[in-house]
């Protein structure tokens, strides 16, 4: 067996924590001071939170007051997917939730909507939401909305898919949603720091962000709104923290780490062009080894760092174990399935046959990925895939 090389190609599941964030979190861990207290220690804690709020707001392109910190993006998504939003001193009510069929599990679950109020929007073979279907469905629901005395429709479409990297045509989707008088929420977790977050251009009313996807600590996220006068009803109620948008004492250290990570990742957007070239070379190498390698969402715009691929007959579960023994970490898709390797709902929604879907692997590069690491992966991939294909072991059923 080859020696361990410790190559981490699972950046979409969780980015390595940035040294600056590590240093800041370490410095703040154990520091006394409730950020809601008025004494000096409390004010010092509050200052760290407000600095982070400004840093995250800059990444999102909104005023700092539009950012609410949460425990992560899943909480932000569930908060946004509410049948009731606050609108000025009144409220907006929603009777239907439309979500893309390839969304993250926290969105597919529908948040606080009743199950019979949730509807999946079909995606095409590349994982893009069918915008024409969305327009037709919103038109069909318009009469029902009028009959419900102004009740509206909430639409949730992610900016970029965590498994395939496919980037959704949000400008068109946002135009359709706005024209229908509906509201748009965007899970922007994977897009943050890799593509520009353009809430105005997307006409997105809210977005969800995650600290640990951009090199911050786990356990912090944010819900960002475009209009301070239109926001979801709080998920957690009780105290007045986060301007009454989310009760509970803030995790000062994690939020501060989130802030510095947001500031740093905003400076890396242009660097992803280099990673795209690395990714494209990686995929050329895969095809050189096996000409029947299939690249999912390969025909549309993708995140520069993401490659989801399959070789027929090379089962993902077996390949992941073999690669791990080589010291290489990658995944078979989303990291939110309790460590299980199963058929991806994203690929299923895209119409991928189960035999091929069971062979799907995802490689996602960090901004620091190197060509030498890619060569090590490809060498290991050649060895193990030849072994698996030759012996027939692990062949997808």
Per the CB < 8 A criterion, the answer to whether 73 and 224 are in contact is no
* Whole-angstrom distance, CA of residue 395 vs CA of residue 358: 9
| Residue 38 vs residues 62, 67, 82: alpha-carbon distances, Å | 27, 22, 33
Compute the residue count for the chain. 397
User: In this structure, what token pair is assigned to residue 33?
Assistant: 């001071």
Q: Are 177 and 204 a contacting pair, CB within 8 Å?
A: no
Q: How far apart are CA 35 and CA 251, in angstroms?
A: 9
Tokens of 210: 């995650």
Q: Measured on CA atoms in the order 184, 185, 187, 188, is the torsion positive or negative?
A: positive
Q: Is residue 336 among the annotated active site residues? A: yes
Q: Which of 265, 308, 336, 359 is catalytic?
A: 336
Which sign does the torsion angle of CA 250, 254, 260, 262 carry?
negative
Q: How far apart are CA 54 and CA 65, in angstroms?
A: 8
User: Phi then psi for 138, rounded to 5 degrees?
Assistant: -65, -40
Q: Measure the CA–CA gap between 246 and 253, rounded to whole angstroms.
A: 17
The token pair that represents 180 in the structure block: 């229908």
Q: What distances in angstroms separate CA 293 from CA 112, 231, 310, 396, one per listed residue?
A: 40, 45, 6, 15
230 φ, ψ to 5°?
-135, 110
Q: Hunting for tokens 């969304």 — which residue is that?
A: 103
Q: Helix 131-147 vs helix 170-179: angle between axes, to the nearest 10 degrees?
A: 20
Q: Which residues are catalytic?
A: 336
């Amino acid at each position: 067996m080859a020696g361990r090389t410790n190559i981490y190609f699972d950046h979409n599941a969780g980015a390595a924590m940035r040294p600056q964030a590590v240093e800041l979190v370490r410095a703040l861990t154990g520091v006394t001071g409730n950020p809601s207290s008025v004494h000096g220690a409390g004010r010092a804690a509050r200052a760290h939170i407000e600095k982070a709020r400004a840093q995250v707001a800059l990444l999102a392109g909104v005023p700092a007051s539009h950012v609410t910190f949460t425990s992560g993006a899943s909480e932000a998504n569930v908060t946004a997917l509410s049948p009731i939003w606050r609108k000025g001193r009144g409220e907006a009510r929603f009777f239907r939730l439309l979500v893309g069929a390839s969304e993250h599990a926290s969105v597919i679950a529908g948040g606080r909507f009743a199950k019979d109020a949730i509807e999946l929007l079909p995606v095409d073979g590349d994982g893009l939401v069918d915008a024409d279907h969305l327009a037709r469905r919103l038109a069909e629901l318009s009469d029902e909305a009028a009959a419900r005395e102004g009740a509206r429709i909430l639409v949730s479409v992610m900016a970029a898919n965590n498994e395939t990297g496919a980037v959704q045509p949000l400008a068109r989707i946002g135009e359709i949603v706005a024209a229908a008088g509906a509201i748009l929420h965007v899970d922007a977790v994977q897009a943050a720091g890799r593509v520009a977050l353009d809430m105005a251009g997307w006409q997105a009313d809210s977005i969800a962000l995650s600290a640990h996807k951009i090199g911050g600590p786990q356990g912090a996220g944010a819900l960002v709104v475009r209009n301070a006068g239109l926001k979801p009803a709080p998920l957690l109620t009780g105290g007045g923290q986060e301007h009454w948008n989310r009760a509970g004492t803030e995790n000062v250290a994690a939020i501060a780490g989130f802030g510095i990570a947001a500031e740093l990742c905003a400076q890396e957007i242009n660097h992803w062009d280099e990673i795209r070239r690395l990714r494209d070379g990686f995929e050329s190498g895969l095809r050189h080894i096996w000409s029947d390698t299939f690249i999912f969402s390969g025909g549309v715009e993708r995140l520069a760092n993401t490659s989801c691929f399959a070789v027929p007959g090379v089962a993902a579960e077996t390949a992941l174990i073999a690669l791990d023994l080589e010291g290489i970490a990658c995944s078979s898709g989303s990291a939110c399935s309790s460590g299980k390797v199963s058929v991806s709902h994203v690929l299923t929604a895209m119409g991928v046959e189960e035999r091929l879907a069971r062979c799907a692997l995802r490689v996602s590069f960090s901004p620091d990925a190197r060509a030498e690491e890619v060569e090590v992966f490809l060498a290991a991939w050649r060895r193990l895939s030849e072994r698996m294909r030759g012996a027939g072991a692990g062949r997808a059923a």
